Amino acid sequence: MRIQRLDPLVAQRIAAGEVIERPASVVRELVDNALDAGATEIIVSLEEGGLKEIKVIDNGSGIQSEDLPLLCESHATSKVRELDDLYHITSMGFRGEALYSIAAVSRITIESSHHGERAHHITVDNGVRGAVEEGGPLAGTIVTVENLFSELPARRQFLKRPATEATMARQILIQKALAFPALSFRLLQDGKLRLDLGPTTARGRVVDVLSLNQPIAETEMVELSDKSDRFTLYAVTSKPSLFRSDRSHIKIYVNGRPVDEYSLVQAVTYGYAEQLPGGSFPYCYLFIEVDPTLVDFNIHPTKREVKLRNKAEIHHQVVQMIKGQLKRSIPRIVPQSAPVQAGELFGHTTGETVRSKTPSYMPQRQSSEAIDPQWFEKAREILGENKGTSTKAYDEAAWLMQDGEEEIIYLGQAFDLFLIAQKGNELYLVDQHAAHERLIYDQVRSKTLSQPLLLPLTFEVERDVADYLKVNIDVYLNLGIKVVEKEDLVWELTAIPALYKSVEDEVVAFIRENTGDGAEVEKGLWAIVACHSAIRQGDSVDRHLARELLEQVFALDEPVCPHGRTFVVRLTKDELIKAVGR
């Protein structure tokens, strides 16, 4: 086929596909424009999930009537004038593509009053522009987008149900609201108010958002802050007593934009490493303000990706801020007045209701997942039911003085989580994942001899990482990891301990992102190996591996995982006999 120029409308719709994927994309771009206009109140209205109509109303400064014809033109923007402006961006939008893209795939009407002057409006219908006419709001701007993708049926087929599309748009509005707590955000869905977030504090906004789906007390969230010469950190994050089983509530914002930046999510988890049980993660909303000259958002049309020239420095500072400012706390224990079913105490249900003469005590549940696994021992301690005995899950003195000659008898595995062993007159339950993590951690710290890689791995680094490696190369050498500089900003991984053989790529990714001290690097590398190598909850363990694991566990000075959690429960024969009333 001969080469020819694309029809302008075809080219416009191809370009629009990079920016506008669904109704949520429209909401994102229009809300960004409202924020740039200085709005203090933003209302989003959706009809049929945004497929029929999306309306965004704001009370910002408005648009001058003579600028209306330019709004839906390609690369028309008030935020960038010359190339150098791309490296000093302070506005939410800057590419000049959003309205142009929306106008290519829908009917868009923009009504605006510039600082209370007479209002005007313009309509662009799937790329066809109308005239500017009088009429509109008394102040601010109203943008109405109708029949999204109506002339692109193939694209519309990829959209989900209206209710699902509305949920996605709602999430976008919530993301924006989290970064601007002093502003008001409302969402109407098919005429009904579905979200109303009034002006508040940063911590108040996070709590308000979390409380939309689960009961969260503001006292469970704390504020952390730190600053450097060219960036500041502020986080609203949960106390160690409140955690989840996934990273879904670790959110990163850079200069007001939510971004997908795994290394900074990783920094948050490193900061909490000694505070939470293995496999647990905090609620953390981290807001980073960086000198615009060190930030590049001009990577992807959706602006979800960011390039930070001082990312390694920020990563290190985030870890140190959390470690240094977050204090351990004991979960609150509150009386539970509701009756307890007798069968519930033993894992089955009966029809009999038992009312205790004294109130039962349970930990205050902040979410369906956020339960401190040590709540029972802490409750006993608070209630004084231990009668002077240790509240640890193991007797430290007995553990340290155990007779090494006693045979370890492996009895089996419970719930694909605990290894059960008998040693003399004592029964032990061992958390298989935490125990294996500890053993791997000890191997990492043993600084085993490194082994050359058959094919060295070459990788590029940012300037700050290169400078760090030149000065701190011994941090990795002490862990058996050898990296050498090939040329400016290009390094090679040439040797690693055998333990790392299956995770070479992850080690390289870690080196490219980190400039921390030796302890932080050690802990980060342990996390990588443990994540990929440790036996997990739910894994079935054969007898040979179980016995080998137990032998190593009983050789430890104390059964504590790298997170500081005890992973062994010890029961004596006498305790079990008393428990069954013999």
The CATH class given to the 202-325 domain equals alpha beta
| DSSP symbol at 573 | H
Residue 394 has pLDDT above 50, yes or no: no
| DSSP symbol at 369 | S
Residue 33 has pLDDT above 60, yes or no: yes
Confidence of residue 387 (pLDDT cuts 50, 70, 90): very low
- Which of these, 539, 293, 548, lies nearest to 416 by C-alpha position? 539
Q: CA 541, CA 537: separation in Å to the nearest integer?
A: 10
Do 27 and 45 form a contact (C-beta atoms < 8 A)? no
Question: Which regions of 346-425 does DSSP assign to beta strands (E)?
Answer: 353-354, 360-363, 408-414, 418-423
| pLDDT tens per residue across span 475-506 | 888 888 899 999 888 999 999 887 777 788 88
Do 399 and 412 form a contact (C-beta atoms < 8 A)? no
Do 282 and 246 form a contact (C-beta atoms < 8 A)? no
Beta bridge partners of 560: 566
Residue 24 has pLDDT above 90, yes or no: yes
- The mean pLDDT value of the chain amounts to 78
Residue 345 has pLDDT above 50, yes or no: no
So what's the pLDDT on residue 498? 79
Span of 107-121, 332-346, 394-408 with lowest mean pLDDT: 332-346
Residue 574 vs residues 372, 386, 407, 426, 509: alpha-carbon distances, Å = 29, 17, 19, 9, 52
Q: Do domains 8-195 and 386-582 have the same CATH topology?
A: no
Section 83-99 average pLDDT: 58
So what's the pLDDT on residue 343? 34
So what's the pLDDT on residue 184? 97
Q: CA 165, CA 24: separation in Å to the nearest integer?
A: 7
Under CATH, which number does the domain 8-195 receive?
3.30.565.10
Q: CA 248, CA 238: separation in Å to the nearest integer?
A: 14
Give the H/E segment covering residue 505: helix 504-513
Residue 80 has pLDDT above 70, yes or no: no
How many other C-beta atoms lie within 10 A of the C-beta of residue 135? 9
* Residue given tokens 């007390």 in the structure block: 217
User: What's the whole-model pTM score?
Assistant: 0.60
So what's the pLDDT on residue 375? 39
Rounded-to-10 torsion of CA 111, 112, 117, 120: -30
Span of 33-47, 471-485, 496-510 with lowest mean pLDDT: 496-510
Give the H/E segment covering residue 387: none
* Radius of gyration, alpha carbons of the chain: 29
Section 79-91 average pLDDT: 52
So what's the pLDDT on residue 427? 86
Residue 337 has pLDDT above 50, yes or no: no
- Highest average pLDDT, of 9-13, 111-115, 245-249, 345-349, comes from 111-115
More confident residue, 304 or 495: 495
Give me 54's structure tokens: 């999306």
Sequence ranges of the domains in the chain: 8-195, 202-325, 386-582
Under CATH, which number does the domain 386-582 receive?
3.30.1540.20
Give me 165's structure tokens: 């599309």
Residue 449 has pLDDT above 80, yes or no: no
